[in-house]
Amino acid sequence: MFRSRKMTTGFAMGLASLMAFGSATAFAKDTVSVGTAAPAFTLPSQDASPVSLSDYKGKWVVLYFYPKDQTSGCSKEAHNFQNDLPKYEALHAVVLGVSLDTVDSHRVWCTKDSFTFKMLADPDHKVVDAYGVPLMTHNGTSYAQRDTFLISPSGKIVKEWEVKDIDSHSADVLAAIKAGK
């Protein structure tokens, strides 16, 4: 099953902006869907400790995928999640960021920007692929598209966002948790 919604105007505009910098390609992968069990995973975090989805059974999990450490949009999105972290904790929710960057890249970025939530390294894009997050390629380097999955305390995917507005994204996720979906 292909995630057809990925071929929206917003996605096309993002692809067009990448192409303005040189050759770029984007492609969608098989995906999971709302109402299905979230694929299990274990990835290393910025402190190299393994993090598994099963570690958070009984909590809401905000699993957000982003393109690249230490870039302006990704930094803004991460700071919004960091600033709202007490609100997530009050709702028994955790925030997990995932990119194709390495543990070392995450460690540097998290230290520099004081991020306290887990950033997960997926350089082999096993989790990116499992969740069907499209990859964008620019000048031979692949990046995950900006997507977020809200996973319920029972382990089901209850909402998915193809993120277009990083300014309101954290607030949108918090509202969905409060609404119970």
Find the CATH number of the domain harbouring 111.
Answer: 3.40.30.10
For residue 70, is it within any domain?
yes
83 and 129 Cβ atoms separated by less than 8 Å:
no
Domain housing 157? 39-124+145-178
State pLDDT tens for residues 120-132: 999 999 999 999 9
For residue 24, is it within any domain?
no
Read off the DSSP letter of residue 30.
Answer: B
For residue 114, is it within any domain?
yes
For residue 29, is it within any domain?
no
92 and 66 Cβ atoms separated by less than 8 Å:
no
For residue 132, is it within any domain?
no
Q: What is the mean predicted confidence (pLDDT) over 144-167? A: 94
For residue 158, is it within any domain?
yes
Q: How many folded domains does the chain comprise?
A: 1
For residue 16, is it within any domain?
no
State pLDDT tens for residues 20-40: 333 333 334 456 889 999 999
Q: Check residues 4 and 57 and name the one with the higher pLDDT.
A: 57
Active-site annotation, residues: 74
For residue 166, is it within any domain?
yes
For residue 181, the model assigns a pLDDT of 61
Single out the residue of 81, 123, 85 nearest to residue 104, CA to CA: 123
